[in-house]
Chains A and B, each alone.
Chain A
Amino acid sequence: MSNADVSHQSTPAPASTTTTGETEETVRESWRTYDVTGEPAVAVEDLNVHYGDDHALKDVSMDIPEESVTALIGPSGCGKSTFLRCLNRMNDRIKAARIDGSVEVGGEEIYQDGVDLVELRKRVGMVFQAPNPFPKSIRENVSYGPRKHGDLDTSLLSRLLGRDDAEAEEALVEQCLRDAALYEEVADRLEDNALGLSGGQQQRLCIARALAVDPDVLLMDEPASALDPIATAKIEDLIGELAEDYTVVVVTHNMQQAARISDQTAVFLTGGELVEYGDTDQVFESPESQRVEDYITGKFG
């Protein structure tokens, strides 16, 4: 049972018109309601984001099921990245952003006083559009999060006292690199600078780095858009494997990619509204909204 249904009944369906499509249509509540079996990993209700005067996200509500891949697609500027960055409160770092609404991660509201952002971001990891490894060694990149959280102690003092976590670090780095399908390629050069890796390797390293803090949810903001087709294919395979253990939310421009990798698809259209959300097959094969169909078939967007 989804508790999102209940709230949606109390929310009037926003009347929406478009000038880009041939027909004007009103977004129906049923198009964007998706029943999640069990507890949703992330539950979003009536999320609104303003950047100054710009209304970037309008009344978005969606439940994201756990251990699955959810794709967010839509044209540029439709708010899908903004939505993604709301889920781990990275938008807090943008001063002009104003966020209203409710986001629950694992049943806990993250937009309330007293939320520990450190703890939240450990639970909701993020991979960015452009690979952004630190200018450090591959090993240090992976162990960066746990080290800074104090989960791995490799300080000089503890090394001198002989009680550092070097072995634990070794194991963690190897595990995360394996999970990110990178270990075989870099096993013999873990001490090399990460900036020497290729773009695709860097992106998988960033995924490994995010996995090292053991998140529940992994947000990916167009993770393959800066990569060549082979690296993209590797990332796509990896996303499928990650979904066995993690809840993955992927923003992508590429509709074929969304169709290939995701279990659910949410379509955002210009103006920051969620128009349709459902099983990927259903959204791509028989979309309920005319505008979504136009977008998917390439008539618009």
Chain B
Amino acid sequence: MSTVTRHALVAGETTLREYVSTGVMAVGAVLFLASWAVLFQWVGERTPVLGVDLFTLFGVLLLAMAAGIAGVGVASRLGHVSASPSASAGLVAGSLFGGIGFVTGGLVASQTLGMGTVGWLAVAVATGVAAAALAVVPREDVGSTLPAALFLALVGALLVTDTLGLGWSWSPNDVSATFVGSVMVPVVTIAGSLVGSWSAAKARAGFGTQGREAGAFYLIRLSVFGMLGVLTLLVGFIVKNGLETALTNAQFGLDGHLDLPGALFGVALPDWSLPFVDVQVPFVTNVSQSLYVDVPGLAPAILGTLWLVVGAMLFAIPLGLAAAIFLAEYTESRLFRQLVEVATNGLWSTPSIVFGLFGLAFLVPRFGGGKSLLSGQLVLGFMLLPLVVITSYESIKAVPDEYRDASAALGVTQWQTIRSAVLPAAMPGVITGVILGVGRIAGETAPLLLVYGGPPFASQNPNVLSSFQFTSSPPFVSNTALLDAGSALPYQLYTSITSGRLPGQGAPFTVQDFGWGTALVLLVVVLGLYAVGIASRLYFRNKLYNE
């Protein structure tokens, strides 16, 4: 008889095994979310649910998960449910459960049972080895369920008996930190729900290769959700703290006028208005400090950031793109190419404060001796340059040689080939690089402190466009706004952290609120720059392939 086991080609009806495992995973997901909610205090830890303590309920649910997993595992081992387990759960599961066993055993021995150092270490090693052995030695259906079930049962029992609960706290001798129950309970519940769900995911697919596939896929999905969760949390936190400030005295209506003062854009346009839409957000359109301003706003900082980014891009993109074209298409020397690559990579990882220092020592004395917008633009341009070079070079290199051959075979010159065949194909990549770089420099604070930052709360917008002056003698054109110090969003955030209080009186919010509002607007501006970049990348890609 063959040693190859055969299974049905077509999955039959949903089996008991699948029902139980799915239930366990669902309970795990609920526990996972609830624990995070407790950790972030969206749900109070003393909230009674269904007549019992929240943490007791956690314990009961963990016990239920344990029972479900163990039941499926044992039933599969005894042949009561259909499954296709491997001979062993494998070393990965073994070391995972071994580690969990070591930590749990050690903690229980030292904390709950109160053993000394030698005692808990011995117990920890013993439980670790036992858990690993339990995972590796038996067949997979037992090996990947029983250790998990034991862990869940232990945690659940601790919670139900209130051994680990709100009253619990632990201050390790050598560490100046205290672990309290209200944090530790959700943390161990999260750990328990993850381990239990992983085990259940394997059981649900019937163990074996399918089970491993399901388990691995479960872990990958979990990581993705974790990443998205962190992002959402971060953005949500900033929005929650800053939204109220940002919308102070804001008006949204459909019956008024959209008044956009031309002075906002620094041009002497007549103030214009759109009928039927009325949007006023004083926090965004006001200056930060003025006698007649009741809501201190961010207009100088927003415009400052935008001008900085525009100036840096005007400086860095032509230079960087030209350098990348030269490196990728013209230079023959590998040594030179590697040298430039090393130099640009080094430049990219240079700390921003060093760029700022260079600007302060080299640029500031040459532009009238004071901090200025121009110095800020150039310093940020220096910072943007290496990334533009690196990404443009990579994307030009990635353009297939077939385009170059085809063009050359038509008798088209190298420059025309680059312009008409290579650059259009490389454009989406180049733009990706610029987006990344702009995202970085728009949030850059350190160099601005040194070369650009003016008064902590600016009372004037940078009027770059209206400040151009033409004269009949050299240099023929000058712009005082470019030589003024000013504010930018990250700089504004820094000053609102360090300045202590808002200038003037009667502001409807504190300086902390002002700072949160600034953070929110900074986030929105950076995301807006990203959106512009992504839109232009899509435009060029579309032009390439879907014309």
Contact = CB atoms under 8 A, between A and B. Distances in A.
Interface of A: 88, 90, 93, 95, 117-122, 125-126, 128, 130, 132-137, 144-145, 148-149, 191-193, 195, 206, 209-210, 213
Contacts, number: 73
A209 B403 CA distance: 13
Given A93-B405, A128-B405, 6 more contacts: A125-B409, A134-B407, A136-B547, A137-B547, A193-B544, A195-B545
Contact of B412 (A128, A135, A145): A145
Contacts of A144: 407, 410, 412, 420
A121 B408 CA distance: 8
Contacts of B412: 118, 144-145, 148-149
Contacts of A118: 411-413
B540 to A, nearest CB: 11
Top 7 nearest A-B pairs (CB, nearest first) are: A121-B411, A132-B402, A126-B409, A145-B410, A122-B411, A148-B412, A193-B547
Interface string B375-412: 00000000000000000000000001011011111111
Contact of A213 (B408, B411, B420, B425): B411
A75 to B, nearest CB: 24
A68 to B, nearest CB: 21
Contacts of B411: 117-122, 145, 149, 213
A278 B546 CA distance: 47
Assign chain B's interface to a size class. 20 to 34
Nearest to A141: B406
A118 B420 CA distance: 16
9 contacts: A93-B408, A128-B405, A132-B405, A134-B407, A148-B410, A191-B547, A193-B545, A195-B545, A210-B409
Given A144-B407, A148-B412, A210-B409, A128 B332 contact: no
A128 B402 contact: yes
A148 B420 contact: yes
A191 B544 CA distance: 12
A181 to B, nearest CB: 20
Interface in B526-544: 544
A136 B542 CA distance: 11
Contact of B410 (A125, A137, A193, A195): A125
Nearest to B400: A132
B541 to A, nearest CB: 10
B424 interface: yes
A134 B420 CA distance: 10
B64 interface: no
A209 B410 contact: yes
B406 to A, nearest CB: 5
A95 B334 CA distance: 13
B158 interface: no
B416 interface: yes
Nearest to B415: A148
